[in-house]
Amino acid sequence: MSLKKINLDGDLLGLDFGDSRTGVARIHPVARISEPLSPIVLKGDVILVEEVAELIRRYNPSALVIGLPRGLDGQETEQTKKVEKFAKQMEDIKTGVPLYLVDEAGTTKEAELRVKKGESVDSVAACIILETFVSEVERGRIADVTF
């Protein structure tokens, strides 16, 4: 049985998941210019799944890309489990947007070097996650996805 290739022809929305703040960015895979957006700050009655669903309605992305943290040796951590649980919750609400998890190793350190005044380090990390995803698709490392 052959799987259908998914053509992601619009903007992608990216997340750098955090316990108190989640970075948000978007990128167009052809132009390859990532844009950090305002992070989602989790306080009070803010529910991340609802906030991301609202971003999906607002930006209508062709895919949602979430950074997947791992330990220094590539092992699963508590944060890995939290991101996987969040990804499952996003799938459960059936947004109709394909969801991808991408290794986020080193994104925060790189974001700290790239961040400009007024930008969120978390959202710049989300930019790097998106750039990594686009690069991996172009190299054929993410099966059944094209631009």
User: Which pLDDT value is given to residue 35?
Assistant: 96
pLDDT digits (tens, 9 = 90+) for 85-113: 999 999 999 999 999 999 999 999 999 99
Confirm if 25 and 36 have CB atoms less than 8 A apart: yes
Longest dimension (CA), the chain: 51
Pairwise CA distance, residues 52 & 58, whole Å? 10
Mean pLDDT of the chain: 92
User: Which pLDDT value is given to residue 36?
Assistant: 97
Confirm if 125 and 16 have CB atoms less than 8 A apart: yes
Kindly give the pairing relationship between strand 34-41 and strand 63-68. unpaired
User: Which pLDDT value is given to residue 3?
Assistant: 56
CATH topology of domain 11-146: Nucleotidyltransferase; domain 5 (3.30.420)
- pLDDT reading at 64 higher than 50: yes
Q: Cα 86 vs. chain centroid, distance in angstroms?
A: 12
Identify residue 116 by its one-letter amino acid code.
K
